[in-house]
Amino acid sequence: MVNLEDLKKEARQILKDGKAKYIIGYKKGANDLMPTPAFITKPEDAEDLVWNPACFHNLTHFLVDEKRRKAKEKEPDERPVGIVVKGCDSRAIITLLQEKFLNREDVYILGVSCENTGVLDEKKLAKKIKGKKVKKVEFDEKNNFIITTPDGKTKIPAEEILAEKCIECKANFPVIYDVLFGEKVERNIDNPFKSLEKIESLPREERWTFWKEQLDKCIRCYACRSVCPMCYCDECVADTINFAVTADTTAEEKAQKIKWVEKSPVSSENFAYHLVRAIHLAGRCIDCGECERACPMDIPIRLLNKKLEKEAKELFDYDAGFDPEQPPLVSCFKDEDPEDFIR
C-alpha cells in the first residue's frame, strides 16, 4: 500500500531542501471523485497531495510544457521538476529520455506503485453505481476499491471497474524513479493484448464497418493529441496551415502549401488523421490510455495504438518505455526482420 503521508513528507522535504523547483502531483478536485493535477511550489502545500484510485491522469505531458516554458525563460531555474508517476507514466518518461527530449537530471521522479490494482475507469464506475454521486474512492488492504456514495460505502472488486489499460498493464510499478512509494509486486498477465481479440477476430468488412462507425464520430477536437505526452512536435502534419503567414505570403504560396489532412471532420480525413497519429506513435505509445479517456466522442483510439504495440512486440520483439538506451523502433532494424509480405 502506498502511504500517502510518506509521499507528502518526501515532497515537503525536497521542496524545503530546494532539490526541486516544484512538484507535479494530484490534489483534491472540485468534484469529489476526480483529483486534479497540482503544481506544488511551497513545502506547506505538500499537504494537499492525494493518491487514490481515481488518479488516472498521466502528468508527464506537463514535463513537455515545462521544457517549452523553460526554453523561453531568460534565466531558467535549472533545478529539476518533481513529478508523481504511476508505472505507465514512468514509461512515458523513459520514452522521452530515449528520444532525448528530456534529460534525466531535469526530473525528480516520485514513483507510486499500483501494486495489484490500478486506476479506475470513470465510465465503468458510473455504470456500476448507477450514476450516484461519489464522495470518496479508496483502496483497501485486499486491492478492492471502496466507493463512498451518499448511501454509504460499497466495496467493489478492482477488476470490475479497473480501467482497460490497467487490466493489460505491463508495468504496475514505476520502471524509473528516485523514490518509490508502495511495493514492487510481480504480476503476471496472461494476455496483454486481450482488448484487441474481439476486433481482430472479425472478418475484414466488419472490421471496416466497426472503424468507420467509430471514426465517423470524431469531431477533430484534437483532445487526444493535446493529452498525449508523446505528441510533442512543434508542428503537426494534421494542422492544415502550419507555416508562417506574413503580409508577403501570396495566395499562391498558401494554396500550394501541402495539406496532408484536411480539417473537415469527414470520414476520409478522420481516417487519415487517426492512422497518421497511430503510426507516429508506433513503438512510442506506452499505453497510458489518456487519448481514449480524453475523447469526448468515446472513440476507442487506444486500440489503434495497442495494435501497433502488439505488432512491434510480435514482429520486432520491441517493448516501448522500458529501456532509455534502446534505439527507437523505427530508427533501427535487424537483418532478420520479417519480409514475407514483400514481393
Partner 1 sequence: MPEEFEPKIVAFLCKWCSSAGSDLAGVSRMEYPSNVVPITVMCSGSVSPLYILSAFNRGADGVLVSGCHPGDCHYIKGNYYARRRIALLNKLLEFIGLEPQRFQMSWVSAAEGVKYTQIIKDFVKELKPLGPQTKLGRNL
Number of neighbours of residue 283 by Cβ within 10 angstroms: 25
What whole-number distance in Å separates Cα of residue 48 and Cα of residue 31? 15
Residue 57 CB-density burial (10 A; 0-12 exposed, 13-18 middle, 19+ buried): buried
Strands (DSSP E) contained in 45-135 are 81-85, 107-112
The least CB distance from residue 254 to partner 1, in Å, is: 18
The H or E element that residue 179 is part of is strand 179-181
Reference 328, options 317, 336, 320; nearest CA is 320
The least CB distance from residue 209 to partner 1, in Å, is: 8
Near partner 1 in 318-337, by CB under 8 A: 329-331, 333, 335, 337
| Region of 182 on the Ramachandran plot (φ > 0 left; ψ -120 to 50 alpha; else beta) | left
Q: Is the CB of residue 26 less than 8 Å from the CB of residue 36? A: yes
Orientation angle between helical segments 267-280 and 301-316, nearest 10 degrees:
40
The H or E element that residue 276 is part of is helix 267-280
What whole-number distance in Å separates Cα of residue 117 and Cα of residue 139? 9
Largest CA distance in the chain: 67
Strands laid side by side in the 152-157 sheet? 136-139, 144-149, 152-157
The least CB distance from residue 143 to partner 1, in Å, is: 33
**Closer to partner 1 by Cβ: residue 35 or 321:** 321
The least CB distance from residue 285 to partner 1, in Å, is: 12
What whole-number distance in Å separates Cα of residue 156 and Cα of residue 135? 15
**Closer to partner 1 by Cβ: residue 13 or 333:** 333
**Closer to partner 1 by Cβ: residue 275 or 297:** 275
**Closer to partner 1 by Cβ: residue 39 or 260:** 260
CA–chain centroid gap for 43, Å, is 28
Q: Is 197 in the site for partner 1 (CB under 8 A)?
A: no
- Here's the x/- map for partner 1, 206-235, by CB under 8 A: it reads as xxxxxxx-----------------------
The least CB distance from residue 197 to partner 1, in Å, is: 12
Q: How does strand 179-181 pair with strand 107-112?
A: parallel
Which of 189, 219, 233, 315 lies at the binding interface for partner 1 (CB under 8 A)?
315
**Closer to partner 1 by Cβ: residue 17 or 234:** 234
Which of 45, 48, 239, 262 lies at the binding interface for partner 1 (CB under 8 A)?
262
| Residue 209 phi, psi dihedral angles, 5° rounding | -60, -40
Which of 161, 162, 301, 308 lies at the binding interface for partner 1 (CB under 8 A)?
308
The least CB distance from residue 266 to partner 1, in Å, is: 6
- Here's the x/- map for partner 1, 263-302, by CB under 8 A: it reads as -x-xxxx-xx--xx-xx--x--------------------
What whole-number distance in Å separates Cα of residue 220 and Cα of residue 263? 8
The least CB distance from residue 98 to partner 1, in Å, is: 17
Which of 204, 244, 247, 248 lies at the binding interface for partner 1 (CB under 8 A)?
204
Window of 38-46, 125-133, 155-163, 259-267 that interacts with partner 1 by CB under 8 A:
259-267
The least CB distance from residue 291 to partner 1, in Å, is: 16
List of residues contacting partner 1 (CB under 8 A): 199-200, 204-212, 237, 260-262, 264, 266-269, 271-272, 275-276, 278-279, 282, 304, 307-308, 311-312, 315-316, 329-331, 333, 335, 337-339, 341-343
